[in-house]
Amino acid sequence: MRMNVVGLILGGGAGSRLQPLTAERAKPAVPIAGKYRLVDIPISNCINSGIRNIFLLTQYNSVSLHQHIGNTYRFDQFSGGHVRILAAEQTPDSAGWFQGTADAVRRSMRYLNDVQPDLVVILSGDQLYRLDLEELIDEHLKHGAELTVSTKPVPRAEAQALGIMKTDEDGRIIEFAEKPGDTELLDQLKGPRDDDTYLASMGIYVFNCNVLKELLCKREETDFGKHIIPGAIKKYKVYSYIFEGYWEDIGTIRSFWAANLALTEALPQFSFYDMSKVIYTRMRYLPPSKINQCNVSRCLLSDGCIISGERVDHCVVGLRALVGEGSVVEDSILMGADFYEHGEVDDPSGIQVGIGRNCRVKNAIIDKNARIGDNVVISPEGKPEDEQTDLYWIREGIMVIPKNTVIPAGTVL
Domain ranges (residues) in the chain? 5-262, 290-407
Spatial distance between the Cα atoms of 198 and 196, rounded to a whole number of angstroms: 7
CATH number of 290-407: 2.160.10.10
Spatial distance between the Cα atoms of 384 and 382, rounded to a whole number of angstroms: 7
pLDDT at 97 over 60: no
Q: How confident is the model at residue 171 (pLDDT cuts 50, 70, 90)?
A: very high
- pLDDT, residue 289, reads 97
Q: Give, for 315, the enclosing helix (H) or strand (E).
A: strand 311-317
Contacts of 384 (CB under 8 A, 6+ apart): 394
Counting every residue written for the chain, the total comes to: 413
Spatial distance between the Cα atoms of 261 and 112, rounded to a whole number of angstroms: 38
Contact (CB, 8 A) for 202 and 127: yes
Amino acid letter at 194? D
Q: How confident is the model at residue 408 (pLDDT cuts 50, 70, 90)?
A: very high
- pLDDT, residue 94, reads 56
- pLDDT, residue 91, reads 55
Q: What is the DSSP code (8-state) at residue 336?
A: -
Average pLDDT over residues 47-67: 86
Q: How confident is the model at residue 95 (pLDDT cuts 50, 70, 90)?
A: low
- pLDDT, residue 84, reads 86
Average pLDDT over residues 361-371: 97
Domains 5-262 and 290-407 share a fold: no
pLDDT at 99 over 70: no
Tell me which of 4-8, 108-112, 295-299 is least confident: 108-112
| pLDDT, tens digit, 9 for 90 and up, residues 313-332 | 999 999 999 999 999 999 99
- pLDDT, residue 26, reads 85
Which string of b and e fits 367-404 if b means at least 16 CB within 10 Å?
A: bbbbbbbbbbebbbeeeeeeeeeebbbbbeebbbbbbe
Spatial distance between the Cα atoms of 84 and 98, rounded to a whole number of angstroms: 18
Q: What is the DSSP code (8-state) at residue 14?
A: -
| 56: three-class secondary structure by DSSP | strand
- 138 conformational bin, left if phi > 0, alpha if psi -120 to 50, beta if neither: alpha
Report which of residues 174 and 64 the model is more confident about: 174
Average pLDDT along the chain: 89
pLDDT at 89 over 60: no
Average pLDDT over residues 74-86: 82
Q: How confident is the model at residue 90 (pLDDT cuts 50, 70, 90)?
A: low
| pLDDT, tens digit, 9 for 90 and up, residues 323-360 | 999 999 999 999 999 999 987 888 889 999 999 999 99
Of the candidates 123, 175, 206, the residue with the CA atom closest to the CA atom of residue 164: 175
- pLDDT, residue 409, reads 96
Strands 173-178 and 163-167: antiparallel
Give the CATH H-level superfamily of domain 5-262: Spore Coat Polysaccharide Biosynthesis Protein SpsA; Chain A (3.90.550.10)
| pLDDT, tens digit, 9 for 90 and up, residues 174-223 | 998 888 888 888 888 887 777 788 999 998 999 999 999 888 877 676 67
N-term to C-term CA, the chain? 62
Could you give the dihedral angle defined by the CA atoms of residues 336, 337, 338 and 339, in that order, rounded to the nearest 10 degrees?
-130
